Chain A
């Protein structure tokens, strides 16, 4: 399978703990996006990378959130000191820069903060 993969698929944690999610984009896709989706809502943009560079961050991305894409391939999203309001599906998408603007989404990581 050459689609976008995310790990883990599910994460249950206690309030105050740190969590880290990983996204592996489609090979050779320059852009990588993180979105958050809560129940009954559409995905909301968090941040995106073009190669290694983080080019845009949403105001939704508080200082407890940090994302990296160190070698321009996989990316990690870390949430420090989790809160119950962080419970959501975290979606990763990738896009080929010279492509038709289509973002391919992974299956998501469902986070539950108790």
Chain B
């Protein structure tokens, strides 16, 4: 079993829709979680960083962690065509250094 699992999509929604991206993780000891956005032919860039359970909001983006079900989510409100990218969930796991990434969900926002 992979440490972080993510539905690869692709996911296509119309502009203005609410997008929900999800991941599960295997180890209940994991506490820090991140969402990265990766545009085509670019490196990943950090979007959100959350610790333990609960919600964190940043503009149109909300990251949610449910430790009881080992489920992490990213919600995008009022989606824009510029949000079209691959979204990667990630965690440092038990490490103080390397990051464990999910496989990424490819998102397309239709104008």
| Residues of A bordering B, CB below 8 Å | 4, 31, 33, 40-45, 48, 55-56, 58, 91, 93, 100-108, 110
Contact = CB atoms under 8 A, between A and B. Distances in A.
B97 A91 contact: no
B90 interface: yes
A91 B43 contact: yes
Instruction: Place the interface of chain B in its size category.
Output: 20 to 34
B90 A42 contact: yes
Contacts, number: 54
A43 B101 contact: yes
Interface of B: 4, 6, 8, 32, 41-46, 49, 88, 90, 92, 97-104
A33 B97 CA distance: 9
Contacts of B90: 42
Given A48-B97, A55-B97, A102-B49, A4 B43 contact: yes
